[in-house]
Copies of this chain bind each other. A is one copy, B any other.
Amino acid sequence: MEKETVRIEGFSDAVFAIAVTLLVLDLHLPEEHLIKNGNDLFIFMKSQWPVFLAFILSFFSIFIMWVNHHKIFKQIYSRNSAIMFANGLILFLVSAVSYPTALLARYFNGEASSMVVAMYTGIFVLINFAYNLLWFLASRNKKLLRPGITDAAIKKIRNNYLYGFPIYLIALIFSFWIPAVSLMIILGLWIFWALSSGKIEMSINESE
């Protein structure tokens, strides 16, 4: 059976690649007259740490989302309108990530901290929901999937995304209380996914 989803993957890859690369546009230069020498620039750079932190956090989160997208679409061979639009929702949210990132960068240090962390974690709650939706829509019809995929493999992928949902919700709730903890939960979840994604792939291949 031929894989029908090649052009969807190509388009999605491009959106992920652009979303991840546009993040750099939020690293703003200092006002020209504020910088007289290297020391001024060094002080400016230090004061910008939330900007760099937000840039790094968002870059690798979108990158891991792309890795996961890659992994899901390796199992999807056909497509229907439902998959097209669940994928469209993912791409919409991914392309929007740079906005809460810029808000986080600017207002993390200050009284609006809870608000911006809530929006930042909120978009990841939505993205996690969209991934669950995509896999739910794809896996309820085994004809759309890679021929020979086992039920165990389908369930493993589902659980991988399903378990993320309550954790993102907890991060969202923490943002109103101790915003820094929310960011650490998100960071922790990415590290877990980065490490576990290798394992899931292996076990899918083993079960073939």
Contact = CB atoms under 8 A, between A and B. Distances in A.
Contacts of A20: 15, 91, 95
Given A17-B15, A29-B106, A106-B29, A63 B91 contact: yes
Interface in A37-86: 37-38, 40-42, 55-56, 59-60, 63, 66-67, 70, 80-81, 84-85
A112 B13 contact: no
A95 to B, nearest CB: 5
Contacts of A11: 13, 16-17, 66, 70
B15 A112 contact: no
A32 interface: yes
A36 B98 CA distance: 22
Interface of A: 7-11, 13-25, 27, 29, 32, 35-38, 40-42, 55-56, 59-60, 63, 66-67, 70, 80-81, 84-85, 88, 91-92, 95-96, 98-99, 102-103, 106-107, 110-116, 194-195, 197-198, 201
A-B interface, 10 closest residue pairs, ranked by CB to CB distance from nearest: A38-B115, A14-B17, A81-B198, A37-B111, A18-B21, A27-B99, A38-B112, A21-B95, A11-B13, A41-B112
21 contacts: A11-B66, A14-B18, A15-B20, A17-B18, A18-B21, A23-B95, A24-B98, A24-B99, A37-B115, A38-B111, A38-B113, A38-B114, A41-B115, A41-B116, A59-B95, A60-B88, A63-B91, A63-B92, A67-B84, A81-B195, A81-B198
